Structures are given as structure tokens and as C-alpha cells.
Amino acid sequence: MAEITIIEAVNLAMARALENSPDVIIFGEDVGLNGGVFRATDGLQQRYGTDRVLDTPLAETLIAGMAIGMASQGLRPVAEIQFMGFIYPTIEQMICHATRLRNRSRGRITCPMVLRAPYGGGIHAPEHHSESTEAIFAHMPGLRVVIPSSPLRAYGLLLAAIQDPDPVVFLEPKRIYRMMKQEVADDGEALPLDVCFQLRDGTDVTLVTWGAMTHETLQAADQLEAEGVSCDVIDVATIKPLDMETILNSVARTGRCVIVHEAARTCGVGAEIAAQLAEHGLLSLFAPVQRVTGYDTIMPMFKLENDYMPSTDRIIAAVKKTLEEA
């Protein structure tokens, strides 16, 4: 079994899906011969042909709209938006159509599409190439929003997204596309959607995160371990719909919670998790919930991006704050 990166796992999952079903169609800007600007679709057009792996005109509304049209016909479109910073023209298609086609037609027409996009900061990219705006999609009823954080989860969750009977926005943390390698069996096995993944068991504090921030969060947990603080680390993975049960169970054990995300703080997904902890888990809490997030500023250009994104130190400081309370 080969050790592969997240981006290779994304590629492997799409290849497996193309192999397993003639209904799977991959398209987007530069995804054909070029294999995508991050190489997510590398080699797929060569292997599966120009009918099934195709370059579209440069038009994001079109990409989302065509995915909806194809999905309505029973195809399994997997559309790529080149960067999350250019995903906004798809919002009308997603909120007005993809998410509600099944509902509007009373189950007559469905929309099993995947909209993939690399997201997040930390790669010294130009302006508009570092956004984390997953909360925009998480607010849409009828949608799933899935974010992998390791090669195994990238493979298993992308297959799950493609197999899912409803629309999925699949956001790939591009900073960690090539950060780590794992053995991934190309067995076509999907991982479950709508559940969190437990990355580390601990007793003192629950750290909740997703995407590239799992890296800093796990680093913080390591350092805290050395200081005698035991962290439970949860990768939310499917941020919509949210598996609060896993988070609440963990907090019932630890009594403390720190939520870490790269996106801006206000109305970020962390706010929803904190609100639900207040509604359903307040009595297990020994300390106020802490959020370590991007700031409510425009995502700065790359000279300052590391000052914007949560660091291991900021996470450790937040954990210590929760421990200061009784």
C-alpha cells in the first residue's frame, strides 16, 4: 500500500469513483489535460476521456448550474471551483437550487452533486486565494459541507460525498494538501458523513476543530500533554449537518471546550457549536467555552496571514484559560 498525501487521496478517490460508475463526471476550470491547478485531477482525463473529465468555460455560476442539471438527470457530477475565493458566484445556484431541488419537487428530482474547492490560508497565495468561508455554506438547509483533514479522510469522505444522494460542498484544506502522508488502501470504502472523528482521547479539555487547523490543534495537544494536560481532539469533518452528540459527550467528560477554526469568528461554525454547548451542555462546563479563530477582518495578504490564522500558541493559551477556572 502506498503512502500518499491529501491531494493524492483526492485524486485517488475521484479515479475510483470514475472507475466504479459511468455516471461520475468531473469538470471545472483547467481540470482536464492540466489536471487542475493543484493537480487534484492529474491524469484523470487521460484515463477516463474528455467526455467524463472536462474543462469548462471560465464561469463559476455555470459550473454549479451545470452540476445541478447533470445531477437532476442521475449523473454524479463532481465539479471543481479552482479556489474558494471564486466560489461566490455559485451561491445562488447552491442556495436557490441545489439544496432545494429535492424538496421543491417533493422528491421527484434530486441533486447528488459535489462541489469541490481548495480553501484556507497559509500557502502564500495572492489576494482572494486564502479564504475560509465554509460558514456561508453551512448556513444552507439541505446541504452537506464536508472538510477532510488527512489522506485517509480525504479519500473516504470524498467517496462518501460522491455517493451521497444529496448535494455536498467538499472543501479541501490546501495548506495541508502535501503536509503529511498516510497509507491509503484504494478499496473504494467510503467513510461516514455527518459524524465527527476522534483524533485523540483526553480527559481535561475538548479541542474541536476541522481542516488544516487539525494540524495546529494536534500540535497544541502534544505540547500540553508534556505539561500534564490531557486533550480530547475532535475533527468535526462534516460541519453541516453537525454531529453535536460526539462533541457533547466529550465535553461531558472533560468539562472544558476550545473551538479552533481558521475562518473569521463572528457567525463562524464555532459560534454554532458554542451556542449548542450552551443549550445542551452548559451544566457539564467548568469554564466558559473558548474560540480560537481567524479575526473579523478581511483575510490579510500573505505577509500577515500567519498573524491571522490560529497558532499553536494561541490554542495553548486558550486551553490554559479554561483551566484557570475552578
Separation CA 308–CA 297 (nearest Å): 9
Residue numbers 213-242 binding another protein by CB under 8 A? 241-242
Note whether 105 binds another protein by CB under 8 A.
yes
Note whether 245 binds another protein by CB under 8 A.
yes
Choices 108-116, 128-136, 209-217, 293-301; region in contact with another protein by CB under 8 A: 108-116
Q: Which helix (H) or strand (E) holds 178?
A: none
Spatial strand order in the sheet of 197-200? 197-200, 231-235, 205-209, 257-264, 290-294
How are beta strands 231-235 and 205-209 bridged, if at all?
A: parallel
Separation CA 25–CA 54 (nearest Å): 8
129 is a catalytic site residue: yes
Report, in angstroms and rounded to the nearest whole number, the Rg of the chain calculated over CA atoms. Answer: 19
Residue 59 or residue 304: which is nearer to another protein going by CB?
59
Q: In 203-212, which positions are buried (b, 16+ CB within 10 angstroms) versus exposed (e)?
A: ebbbbbbbbb
Residue 166 or residue 216: which is nearer to another protein going by CB?
166
Q: What is the DSSP letter of 189?
A: P
Residue numbers 168-197 binding another protein by CB under 8 A? 194
Q: Which three cell numbers stand for residue 18?
A: 470514475
Least Å distance, CB 160 to another protein, is 13
Which of 97, 174, 215, 291 lies at the binding interface for another protein (CB under 8 A)? Answer: 97
Helix, strand, coil percentages for the chain (3-state, nearest 5) = 40, 20, 40
Residue 4 or residue 24: which is nearer to another protein going by CB?
24
Note whether 256 binds another protein by CB under 8 A.
no
Note whether 110 binds another protein by CB under 8 A.
yes
Note whether 165 binds another protein by CB under 8 A.
yes
Catalytic one of 97, 129, 215, 261: 129
Choices 139-147, 229-237, 254-262, 310-318; region in contact with another protein by CB under 8 A: 139-147
Least Å distance, CB 44 to another protein, is 16
Please choose, from the candidates 208, 235, 139, 130, the residue with its C-alpha nearest in 3D space to the C-alpha of residue 173. 130
φ and ψ of 286, to 5 deg: -95, -15
Note whether 243 binds another protein by CB under 8 A.
yes
3-state SS of 260-311? EEEEECCCCHHHHHHHHHHHHCHHHCCCCCEEEEECCCCCCCHHHHHHHCCC
Least Å distance, CB 74 to another protein, is 8
Residue numbers 45-74 binding another protein by CB under 8 A? 51-52, 56-57, 59, 61-62, 64-74
Residues annotated as catalytic (active site), given as ranges: 129
Q: Footprint of another protein on this chain (CB under 8 A)?
A: 25, 51-52, 56-57, 59, 61-62, 64-75, 77, 89, 92-93, 96-97, 102-110, 141-142, 144, 165-166, 194, 241-245
